[in-house]
Amino acid sequence: MRVKVMSEQVFQRSITSKAGKPYNFREQEAVVEIGLERRIIVLGLEDGQAAYPKGEYEVMDASFDVDRNRNLVTKPFAKLVLKAVVGAVQPARAAG
């Protein structure tokens, strides 16, 4: 499966659990095409992780797991493993 990152914009949001513990999320949007359907998905970013540069990525096998019922599932969204499709990713820009 391939995903396409259209923008390097990172969205940040924070929530507080019922127990009062704060959680911060850093996310980036991408597009996935499945058959004739096109959907926007959210890629979770770890703290300090740079945004994915624009381009196409392949979702690697390490992004999938088998649950206790032996069903194939994706790992939590922050744990997806993406590999750039050669020639389809723009080089990262230097911060400045």
Where residue 44 sits, what CATH number does that domain have? Answer: 2.40.50.140
- Domain count within the chain: 1
Residue 59: beta bridge partners? 82
In a domain, 92, yes or no: no
Q: Which residues contact 58 (CB under 8 A, 6 or more apart)?
A: 1, 2, 82, 83, 85
CA atoms of 88 and 90, how far apart (whole Å)? 7
Who has greater pLDDT, 60 or 52?
Answer: 52
The percent of residues above 90 in pLDDT, for the chain, comes to 30
Domain extent, residue 67, equals: 2-87
Q: Is the pLDDT of residue 9 over 70?
A: yes
Mean pLDDT of the chain: 83
In a domain, 93, yes or no: no
Tell me which residue of 57, 54, 4 sits closest to 30, measured CA to CA.
4
CA atoms of 11 and 62, how far apart (whole Å)? 25
pLDDT, average across residues 17-30? 91
